[in-house]
Amino acid sequence: MTHLLQNLVEMTGHRDHLRLEASVMATLHKLTSVVEVRALEVFQREGEACLRPRSWMENGQWVSTEAEAQADARRQPLTHFPALQACFEARTEHARSAPQKGRYVVWLPVWVHDQVTSCLEVSQSRPISAHRLDVLMGIFNVYKNYQSLLDYSERDALTGLFNRKTFDEQFARHASCGDERARAPQSAPGAPAALPEGGGNREPLRQWLAVIDIDHFKQVNDRFGHLYGDEVLILMANLLRSSFRSHDRIFRFGGEEFVVLLRATTLETAHKVFNRFRQTVQDHHFPQVGQITVSVGFTASASGSPVEILGQADQALYFSKENGRNQVRFYDDLVASGHLQSRISHEDMELF
């Protein structure tokens, strides 16, 4: 019992979701007769619910994947796990199965806003007794409660997107992927590497940062009031979520400004993705308000400090807003054409 309490203390000492997930998995893995613990991501692919391993314990170490869920070769349809599917449909707190002799599995789903986003899978060599299930549920509930506290501190209260406070940490993790991780995003030994976009090696996969600003948003608040302004922000957050992948990161920086960290894609695709989002916003009907447009500035985020990268994307954004709005501008193109000069460097910073 003392050993278990020490693990719980360690688990709640983390201030990061991934480290918290690794810690709870390590705690569960130390229980007697437990042979494997995995965190499974739940997602939709072409309208079908699927699962894929997101992190697991291997040779005493925690292993995770940065691969895009939709393209992960290890994904499996939820229908392959009938007990877990029934658990999701009935909204029960756990599911159990004995897929083979000497292997007994319990799944513990994580519900967020009435949807299952992930679940912990615990496999052990002996049948799962009522006492063991109580222990598992107790540890899992501590994990869920602490995860909710972390989530609340990291997110914007209005839109549910990540807030400005979490940007530096997420940016550092995003940038650490680098071009090498982008070309082979699977971190597990022996896992299949992602294929280059377009089936060839025409462009390297890189990381991108975009700053997105709602055009004339002050007029929305002045004309329709702040309640409708807030509704526009909430709907904009929903459009952002549906327009980008699960492993990209979206932030609300305050007011009408949003930031997107786009992972592992080519410059050509980044242009297409950001312009597709711009067009999606333009085509969307906002109740009472009508049509809204956005301006976008983006830059590569593989190197440089957050101040440098944000400064570059901001310069591209403001060029977009000062030259017609409702457009996407790439910082390097503007510099190459002479429309912009670099205002932020490693040596000094000019405030503007």
66 belongs to the catalytic site: no
Please give the distance of CA 84 from its chain centroid, rounded to a whole number.
24
- Contact (Cβ atoms closer than 8 angstroms) between residue 229 and residue 220: yes
Tokens representing residue 183 in the block: 């070309």
Question: What are the tokens at 254?
Answer: 């305050």
Residue from 2, 41, 45 nearest 21 by CA = 41
Q: Determine how many CB atoms are found less than 10 A away from the CB of residue 13.
A: 11
Q: Which residue in 310, 297, 211 sits closest to 252, CA to CA?
A: 211
Tell me, what DSSP letter sits at residue 209? E
Indicate which residue of 89, 256, 268, 347 is catalytic: 256
- Torsion angle of alpha carbons 234, 238, 244, 249, nearest 10°? 40
**Helix orientation angle between 167-183 and 306-322, rounded to the nearest 10 degrees:** 90
> Which of 256, 248, 273 is CA-nearest to residue 197?
273
The set of catalytic residues is 256
